[in-house]
Amino acid sequence: MKKKNIGAKLAVILTLLIFVFVALIVVLNQKDEPVTEKAPTGPPSIEDQPLFGESTAPVTIVEFGDFKCPACKAWGDTVFPRLVEDYIDSGEVNFAYVNVPFHGQESILAALAAESVYQQDPSAYWEFHKTLFSSQPETAKHDELWVTTEKLLELTSTIPSISPEKLTQDLEQELTMPQVETDTALYKKHGVGVTPTIIIGDKKISDPFDYEEIQKIIKEELSAANE
């Protein structure tokens, strides 16, 4: 009888342990499962953002990018020129850029500099934008330190309207941080998790290098704007 009782007790204990183990796995899986946030309706706000193209263009493309991001540089070298030729020069589309400093302090410093240039002379912003991306080292050296105050001053030295004293002050005292923080709130609001992220109107492009998808969305937005 004792052996039977001991066996029964062991069976009960084993069953309980199995139950607890299975329940624990279920709980852990639920905890680790990512929560999908719904993207807000409506296009990103481009108020006070650098704008390339006609302000009256019916369609706006917004790039959420990082000056230290190699993919952003590649997008700017390959896709952006096609957009300019096909849609921006014609006045059908304009383009805005939002800072997403995902790559640490260098990204923040680059964003601060870009905002300083934009504040000092909005017409000089896109020249600086292109020059900064062009200065990005090859991918193999991506993690090397290259965004410094000295480098940023060097890149703006050929732009007469940009004061080196003002730029230095803005960087050292982080005077344009409020603008960078505005961008941070904007990319978080729109669920941006990678750079570059491209949003046309209120539609996020699944692959920013898929030009056919980009054209498709642009045509849909232009059609809706002309209705």
User: Which residue in 210, 106, 103, 112 sits closest to 169, CA to CA?
Assistant: 112
User: Where exactly are the structural domains of the chain?
Assistant: 1-33, 51-225
* pLDDT at residue 143, rounded to an integer: 73
**pLDDT for the residue 69:** 94
Q: What's the confidence (pLDDT) of residue 141?
A: 65
In CATH, the number for domain 51-225 is 3.40.30.10
Phi, psi of 173 (to 5 degrees): -100, 0
pLDDT of residue 36: 30
**How far is Cα 123 from Cα 35, in angstroms, rounded to an integer?**
41
Low-confidence ranges of the chain (pLDDT < 50): 1-39
**CB-based contact 111:50 (threshold 8 Å):** no
pLDDT of residue 80: 98
d(CA 168, CA 166): 5
* Number of C-beta neighbours around residue 176 at 10 A: 20
Return the pLDDT at 142.
66
Instruction: Output the pLDDT for position 226.
Output: 86
- Report pLDDT digits (tens) over 58-102: 999 999 999 999 999 999 999 999 999 999 999 999 999 999 999
